């Protein structure tokens, strides 16, 4: 199966973001001819104020970002994993950060809401308080992609190995990890964590990321980019350069099986005493 990751520089203008996402998906189909395309985290809207986020959010199913991905999946007969979309919650003043996957017919096959909220003060002093605007999800989500089992995670989830162990126990072959890692944390932690999760799970990690700058209130923030695909041995088999663009690779089910047979980690798990 061939996969393509879309790297974007989303901003606080939804129309611009959706136009860019559409163009990159069309480019991917024309140049790469993939079976599965994955967009980055919050590809539809990034930055702005809390009120701006609420205004840009969608009620799922439906909304411009959701419908665009469904339409393009159906038009090009390709799976599209819509990185994450800002999702409205009825009777709530917070949002979900939500991945939606569509099959080749444009039908929704999975919906995952980000579980772990990024509430930190970064080394550069920037404060992030995701839980003020976003409500955490609580479900582990997988779906079938023509014989490949795909598990869902988003950005900060990467730092919590128990989520990935829960996915491993469901025998996923690929983890879709759309992200918007900060520049400061990304340069030291992004690749090593992606590779570690791939090694632990003996699965591919497909991690499309946001890159470049965006405005959050009066502050300019920077994301790390470096979208990558790590194989089950922990090798980075494809990686994006700077700027918006595409990165592709083939996913080999036989390679997954050979590595799991060589080091049968799943058979060696033990339950430790409390």
Taking the domain 2-263, which CATH number applies?
3.60.110.10
Contact yes or no for 94/87 (Cβ under 8 A)? no
| Count of other CB atoms within 10 angstroms of residue 73 | 26
Q: Which residues are catalytic?
A: 41, 114, 155
Per-residue pLDDT for 10 more than 80?
yes
| Token pair recorded at residue 74 | 């159906």
Q: What is the pLDDT of residues 68-91, one digit of tens each?
A: 999 999 999 999 999 999 999 999
Positions of E strands within the chain: 2-7, 36-38, 79-88, 95-102, 108-113, 119-121, 127-129, 142-145, 148-152, 174-176, 204-207, 211-216, 219-224, 228-230, 236-239, 245-250
CA distances from 208 to 83, 165, 264 (A): 8, 21, 29
Tell me what pLDDT residue 128 has: 85
Q: What is the pLDDT of residues 177-221, one digit of tens each?
A: 999 999 999 999 999 999 999 999 999 999 999 999 999 888 899
Report field, pTM of the whole predicted structure over 0.75:
yes
Q: What is the pLDDT of residues 230-242, one digit of tens each?
A: 999 999 999 998 8
| Count of other CB atoms within 10 angstroms of residue 81 | 30
Burial class for 207, CB neighbours closer than 10 Å (0-12, 13-18, 19+): buried
Tell me what pLDDT residue 157 has: 98
Q: What is the pLDDT of residues 115-150, one digit of tens each?
A: 999 998 878 777 888 999 999 999 999 999 999 999
Tell me what pLDDT residue 126 has: 77
Tell me what pLDDT residue 242 has: 86
Q: What is the pLDDT of residues 14-62, one digit of tens each?
A: 999 999 999 999 999 999 999 999 999 999 999 999 999 999 999 999 9
Q: How confident is the model at residue 226 (pLDDT cuts 50, 70, 90)?
A: very high
Tell me what pLDDT residue 127 has: 82
Cis peptide, bond prior to residue 78, ω within 30 of zero: no
Closest C-alpha to 58, from 73, 48, 43: 43
């Amino acid at each position: 199966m061939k996969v393509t990751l879309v790297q974007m520089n989303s901003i606080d203008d939804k129309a611009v973001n959706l136009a860019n996402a559409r163009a990159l998906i069309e480019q991917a189909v024309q140049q790469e001819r993939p079976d599965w395309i994955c967009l980055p985290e919050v590809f539809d809207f990034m930055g702005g104020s809390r009120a701006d986020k609420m205004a840009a959010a969608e009620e799922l199913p439906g909304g411009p970002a959701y419908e665009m991905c469904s339409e393009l999946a159906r038009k090009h007969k390709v799976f599209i994993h819509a990185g994450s979309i800002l999702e409205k919650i009825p009777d709530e003043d917070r949002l979900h950060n939500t991945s939606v996957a569509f099959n080749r017919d444009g039908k929704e096959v999975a919906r995952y809401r980000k579980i772990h909220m990024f509430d930190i003060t970064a080394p550069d002093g920037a404060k992030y308080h995701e839980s003020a605007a976003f409500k955490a999800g609580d479900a582990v989500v997988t779906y079938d992609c023509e014989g490949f089992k795909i598990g869902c995670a988003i950005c900060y989830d990467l730092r919590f190995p128990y989520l990935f162990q829960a996915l491993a126990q469901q025998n996923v072959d690929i983890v879709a990890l759309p992200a918007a890692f900060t520049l400061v944390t990304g340069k030291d932690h992004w690749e090593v964590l992606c590779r570690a999760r791939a090694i632990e799970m003996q699965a591919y990690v497909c991690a499309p990321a946001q890159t470049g700058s965006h405005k959050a209130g009066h502050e300019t923030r920077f994301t790390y980019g470096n979208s990558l695909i790590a194989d089950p041995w922990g090798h980075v088999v494809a990686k994006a350069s700077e700027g918006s663009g595409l990165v592709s690779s083939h996913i080999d089910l036989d390679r997954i099986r050979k590595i799991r047979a060589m080091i049968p980690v799943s058979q060696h798990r033990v339950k430790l005493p409390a």
